[in-house]
Amino acid sequence: MATAAPQRPIKIAGMLQEADIEQAVDLQARSYALLKWMAEGIRRGFIGFDAAHAYAHDAQAAAAWIERHYADLPPPARPPREHLAAFCRLFTTYLDGGQRLVRDPGQRLYSPDAHCFCEMCSWYIHKASLTARTISSGDRRRADRQMRHSLDELALEHDRLLEDGDVDRLMRDPAFRQALELYAYTETLLRRLRGGGAEIGVPLALWRRFAWTEQGAPKRKFRLSVESILDASALLRQRLAALS
């Protein structure tokens, strides 16, 4: 469920152990895989749109549906039973976070490698039933606010109140900025797993900042990993400690 204002972030390093981050990364991959599989089910007709939409919005309904069809789910989209509740809390935040299920997506003209769209070289295929909303200026502002909130909380661990000038100097470093984007996203991920929700559009807006290229396409080899999150946390703490 979307919230009106950022909540106090959950600390990534220190209070949480590496195992907590491993669980979060695993459940993020599995829950998004399930959302994509559900969207494919809508397109192919073996999952009704209204039912899918209901499961994707209600954690209890999602849990009951998963339990009924557990053996039928693809292994990459199947949650460990001991983490089913957290999985469903996360799964039901995607539509508020920026994803959209489409009832009737229609078709589009397709050509391999988009090399030619004549009648001989192209044909119509079904569009995807899962799409992402366009990132709005409001989404970007909320993502910026979440990043600043995360940075301020980290700074407090070093007994430092950041001035705007401090933040400007830190953010001029691309490595620092990307680390903060990943750190802030991870905080929203952990909050969603615990049932705290996220501001509308913020998870997707943050994700696109570090998982997509500047040209607006997904990075082909990017995978969210425990190592990258821990490295980001370490870099942020190192730079903040240097300010003290």
**Cβ–Cβ under 8 Å, residues 5 and 182:** no
% residues pLDDT > 70 (the chain) = 82
* Residue 68 domain flag: no
What is the reported pTM?
0.83
Query: What is the dihedral angle through the alpha carbons of 6, 59, 93, 108, rounded to the nearest 10 degrees?
Result: -170
Tokens of 212: 């997509």
* Residue 238 domain flag: yes
* Residue 219 domain flag: yes
| pLDDT tops 60 at residue 79 | yes
Residue with more model confidence, 110 or 141: 141
Q: Map tokens 């539509």 to a residue.
A: 95
* Residue 190 domain flag: yes
* Residue 178 domain flag: yes
- pLDDT tens digits for range 205-232: 999 999 999 888 899 889 999 999 999 9
| pLDDT tops 70 at residue 175 | yes
What is the biggest distance separating any 2 CA atoms in the chain, rounded to whole angstroms?
67
The secondary structure element, H or E, covering residue 193 is: helix 174-193
pLDDT value, residue 43: 84
* Residue 21 domain flag: no
Domain that holds residue 237: 137-243
**The residue count for the chain:** 244
Cα 7 to Cα 4, 96, 136, distances in angstroms: 9, 16, 21
Considering its fold, how many domains does the chain have in total? 1
* Residue 182 domain flag: yes
